[in-house]
Amino acid sequence: MTHLPVSATSLSVVGSAFPADIIVRTIRLVLEGAISLRAASRACNIIDQCDGGLGLDAPCQTTIQNHILRVGLFLIGRTDQRRDDRVWLMDHMIGAGSTKCLIVLGITLDDYRKLSGPMSHHDLDVLAILPVETSNGEVVCEQFGRLADQFGPPVATLSDRGSDLKRGVELFQRDHPGLGSFYDIVHLVSRVIKAIFESDPRWDSYRKACCKCANFLRQSPLAHLKPPNPRTKARYMNFDREVRWASRAIAVVDRVRSGNLSQRQRARLSPVLVQQRLGWLEAYRQIALVWSEVIWTGQAINTLVRRTGYTNTTPEDIRRFASAAQYSETRLLIDRVVAEVEPLCRSLATGESMPGSTEVLESLIGKGKRLLHHSGNSVTRQILSLATATTKITTTLVQQAFSTCRMKHLTQWTRDNLRPGVHLARREDLTVSPEEQKLRKPLLSASPNF
């Protein structure tokens, strides 16, 4: 394998043996290409060979990881980005263990109002990645204060209004009375749907019947019709999957009964077995129509606010969905959402808009969990890769970041902000016990050497 060509020295980077263009390539392969660190190293060699080269002496996986983290640490440590017109999008990332990490993204009102569609990762700046062992309103307020000193105070915040975030914003508003606090529309709609569904005892009985049905279908010819597994986290945001299954499974039962099936469907859909395992859905035929309308109306509200943000006409725009509503549950959803949204939009002037969805932040956190997977999903220093994932990786950025942020700074940040991850604690604590050692010794000594 050959070393890098001499011409690449024009892109040399302080604090790295590799040129900036190779660093950019490997970082983009991991963050944008969604491949592993080790695969990114190998891919660099393959790409160079495909271009007619002999293969690059590419960074190893540990070096690539350190490159990503140094760029991320540089981005959240900047002191030259003070603005007083940003909206903060915030949420907590919780992995295995007790560490809770506050993620704050920022976008200026000018940049937001120039967008022609929903926000993407590159439209925002990561302002904070703040791991803590204990989080409450007072802790969050103190974190906001430090962020305001570094990046400037926000004009508004947008969050899912978790208890600590909601309380932290309220405390922060005492010193910043003009600060607006907006509610992520997806969490708002989901919370209202949860309350409507769970007030009906048929919902609980339906979910229990789905679990029982799934057990019967899992190892049967009808396994492809198995109900979806309930989500253990944020399950009230996934009602659509369960309701959609009910509607579609009832349609399957109807087609089987009428004989309106293709030849392949007749071969795999036994009328007796379908009736035996899915006939119970008949009791939920009417209420499934109600649930479906509620779900689809909630999704329409989410889509509206995702596209336009919160404006002074948003409450009236949501009310218009009531004209197509057939059921009282749907109208109740609309009324409750409008009651929450109306106070938020009252202060907005004609033509003004504010972000209404944190889905871009949820997406970024999802990417972070993929990158944390190798550490047992505990919060490790790899969390800094979230900051790197929001920016366009260029040779200029890499050169600037590496000249400012060295490995010693990354080590110090890790020592100051994180405790050892779950995977390290597991390795230290779940060692071989004396009893296990006693059992293994005679077996090892009796084993032949190969």
What's the pLDDT score for residue 116?
A: 83
**Homologous superfamily of 80-184+356-381 in CATH?**
Ribonuclease H-like superfamily/Ribonuclease H (3.30.420.10)
Mean of all residue pLDDT scores within the chain: 87
Mean pLDDT of 224-240: 75
What's the pLDDT score for residue 6?
A: 37
Q: Is the pLDDT of residue 148 over 80?
A: yes
What's the pLDDT score for residue 236?
A: 55
What's the pLDDT score for residue 3?
A: 42
Mean pLDDT of 106-110: 93
Q: Does residue 112 contact residue 87 with C-beta atoms inside 8 Å?
A: yes
Least confident of 11-20, 159-168, 367-376, 379-388: 367-376
For the segment 52-86, what is each residue's pLDDT rounded down to a tens digit? 666 667 788 899 999 999 999 999 988 888 888 99
Angle of helix 185-198 relative to helix 328-345, nearest 10 degrees, comes to 150
Mean pLDDT of 392-421: 88
For the segment 276-322, what is each residue's pLDDT rounded down to a tens digit? 999 999 999 999 999 999 999 999 999 999 999 999 999 999 999 99
Query: Where exactly does CATH 3.30.420.10 map onto the chain?
Result: 80-184+356-381
For the segment 362-399, what is each residue's pLDDT rounded down to a tens digit? 888 888 777 776 555 677 888 898 899 888 999 999 99
DSSP per-residue codes, 155-181: SEEEE---HHHHHHHHHHHHH-TT-EE
How does residue 275 score in pLDDT terms, banded at 50, 70 and 90?
very high
For the segment 182-192, what is each residue's pLDDT rounded down to a tens digit? 999 999 999 99
- Count H helices and E strands in the chain, helices first: 20, 5
